[in-house]
Amino acid sequence: MLFDEYATEHLADGAVVLRGAAEPVATDLLREISSIIDQSPLRTVMTPMGKPMSVEMTNCGAVGWVSDSRGYRYEHLDPITGLPWPPMPARFSSLAGSLAEDAGYRGFRPDTCLINRYSTGSKMGLHQDSDERDLTQPIVSISLGLPINFKFGGTKRTDPTISVKLRHGDVVVFGGAARLAFHGVGLLHRGTHPLTKEFRFNLTYRVT
């Protein structure tokens, strides 16, 4: 464990919340995020159904997640700049590896990190993350700024969901049976956070 002590909460089979685990490095992470955004700007993407997502996003790492009328996929080049995505900062990847290890997953080496920015009224509907080839690898998520209600269900869309509030610095690691669970994010309510103002940022580290 790299940082101070923190509480570990069991969320579901394969999913664990590390409460406030990223709080000690939040300002460093936000500085890195702002440098990534300077190189590959936040953008609104369209779902394959032609609806704009309410969350703005960008990526860093060898590949980045994109969505447009042709579907969801990972791309080596940022479609806005035509350039490779900004490299993943070394401290980003080592942090994710260390957090995954704390949750019981060894050797997590993410090749991409999706940066989502939520503003008042943003939400994310229930979905599965299944665009990656190696579903034995976990996903590490870091929440920064304003809190949201995270919804977590089962492997069928109609399975019941539980709700858990994710706050600044909280980390969730999803592996095993949780890797293909349906999940979503409730409305971001108006508010202000000393470090992120009116926003919530989420970092999602994945092995594609």
User: Taking every pair of C-alpha atoms in the chain, what is the biggest distance, in angstroms?
Assistant: 45
Scored b (16 or more CB within 10 A) or e, 158-170 reads eeebeebebbbbb
Q: Is 151 among the residues that bind ligand MD3 (CB under 6 A)? A: no
Q: Quick one: which of 172, 173, 196, 199 contacts ligand MD3 (CB under 6 A)? A: 172
Query: Contact, 130 vs 157, CB < 8 A?
Result: no
Instruction: Determine the residue type at 102.
Output: D
Question: Residue 74 or 174: which CB sits closer to ligand MD3?
Answer: 174
Q: Is 183 among the residues that bind ligand MD3 (CB under 6 A)? A: yes
Q: Is 185 among the residues that bind ligand MD3 (CB under 6 A)? A: yes
Dihedral in degrees, nearest 10, Cα atoms 188, 192, 194, 195: 40
Facing residues of 151 across strands?
A: 163, 184
Q: Quick one: which of 174, 196, 199, 205 contacts ligand MD3 (CB under 6 A)? A: 174
Q: Which does 116 bind (CB under 5 to 8 A by kind): ligand MD3, Fe ion, none?
A: ligand MD3
Site residues (CB under 6 A) for ligand MD3? 114, 116, 124, 129, 139, 141, 172, 174, 178-179, 181, 183, 185, 202, 204
